[in-house]
A and B are shown apart, each in its own frame.
Chain A
């Protein structure tokens, strides 16, 4: 494939999704500066391997690269990070303990929602970001996180239950 055609195709298929890439990187690294580095590195990597891209979904493809880049970075920086532990096994129905709630969120609670989401383990946070912020389908999420469809559904359920738990306890603490 020619260099120029490749560049042109890349710019058309991949570059329109930089916002999505940055949003995911920002939520995974939890800071602006590192997120920028991640997206830059991932974009170059995506370009290098662009000949392997035969699909139509440039966004999912770029997000996969961004995610992998971020996880490499996270592993190197793991010790300095504070999150609640990631446990696939927690059963969803446990959230019953938090019921009944009929939660109400005001605009002023958005900062709290952001902090609660940041507190989630990466594996939970990313599925919520991909689904609720990026609005990917389960199938697309499965592609990005390289997991079966069933895992996507159950992980999303656990992630939301956990998020709700963190949020509820924070709301209770609030004066």
Chain B
């Protein structure tokens, strides 16, 4: 390697950005060439000087706080459109469309009944909530935080009660879409098992008795109470889920606020 080549590669060598072969060539050249090795040690001296702390300007402490504040404000300004955001519609719209098409075709083909379809939807919603890290929009074990969160997002107020003392702690709530309408989804936990409870007011006030089905390994229980449809789904074993429903119905539900 000659001096011209060595000079062009000296910086890459200094920065450890050369391949091993070039590295060796440069090292050989530096051993034999005083001029280039002086030039190299000059670079080292300057770099050593640049690395002193006095040349690195750290952000003032209050700048960090100021930025954090203004970014949070910007986030707040973006937030209100959230539950109607495109990403949400992107998921909900095709689902709704698909559900509609299927429902329209049902009478002609004698396919699954609307209850069976709804059961499928409920199970699918449950699975989706576990898959895409979207279990809860509002994460709280406090019923007085979760319940008000639905205000303004739904045209009804779902009953919310925490069952932590009975071994089924409330984790949070989120909006979901079932039966062609937005519904409240309440999330509970039993050990490692997640329980989703979907709540919405029925179109017709038709009292349905409790019914239990099993689909894809999930237990689904549905019932109506105080003018609301309840569907709960979990991989919890049947007797446990039944106990949960019993506790939920017995709890002093703060359905009036």
Q: What class of interface size applies to chain A in its complex with B?
A: 35 or more
B67 and A15 contacting across the interface, CB-CB below 8 Å: yes
Q: Does any Cβ of A come within 8 Å of B152's Cβ?
A: no
Cβ contacts under 8 Å, A6 to chain B: 75, 78
Interface residue ranges of B57-82 to A (CB < 8 Å): 57-60, 63-64, 66-68, 70-72, 74-76, 78-79, 82
Q: Which of A2, A36, A93, A138 contacts B63 (CB 8 A)?
A: A36
- Annotate A29-59 by CB proximity to B: 1 below 8 A, 0 otherwise: 0001001100110011001100000000000
Q: What class of interface size applies to chain B in its complex with A?
A: 35 or more
Q: Does any Cβ of A come within 8 Å of B4's Cβ?
A: yes
Cβ contacts under 8 Å, B205 to chain A: none
A23 and B57 contacting across the interface, CB-CB below 8 Å: yes
B46 and A163 contacting across the interface, CB-CB below 8 Å: yes
Given contacts A26-B57, A93-B4, A154-B8, contact A1 B71 (CB under 8 A): no
Q: Does any Cβ of A come within 8 Å of B203's Cβ?
A: no
Is chain A's binding surface mostly helix, strand, loop or mixed? helix
Q: Does any Cβ of A come within 8 Å of B47's Cβ?
A: yes
B49 and A40 contacting across the interface, CB-CB below 8 Å: no
Q: Which of A18, A39, A43, A153 contacts B11 (CB 8 A)?
A: A153
A46 to B: closest C-beta gap in Å: 9
Q: Does any Cβ of A come within 8 Å of B253's Cβ?
A: no
Cβ contacts under 8 Å, B41 to chain A: 102-103
Complex-state Cα separation, A18 to B68, whole angstroms: 11
B4 and A7 contacting across the interface, CB-CB below 8 Å: no
Cβ contacts under 8 Å, A95 to chain B: 7, 39
A40 and B46 contacting across the interface, CB-CB below 8 Å: no
Cβ contacts under 8 Å, B43 to chain A: 160, 164
Q: Which of A3, A36, A47, A133 contacts B60 (CB 8 A)?
A: A36
A105 and B45 contacting across the interface, CB-CB below 8 Å: yes
CB-nearest residue of chain A relative to B62?
A36
Cβ contacts under 8 Å, A21 to chain B: 59
27 A-B pairs in the complex with CB atoms less than 8 angstroms apart = A2-B82, A2-B85, A2-B137, A6-B75, A10-B75, A18-B59, A22-B57, A22-B59, A32-B57, A44-B70, A44-B71, A44-B74, A93-B3, A95-B39, A99-B35, A100-B34, A101-B42, A102-B42, A102-B45, A103-B46, A110-B55, A114-B54, A131-B15, A138-B15, A157-B11, A160-B43, A163-B46
Closest 6 pairs (CB-CB, A-B): A22-B59, A3-B79, A7-B75, A26-B57, A132-B50, A157-B11
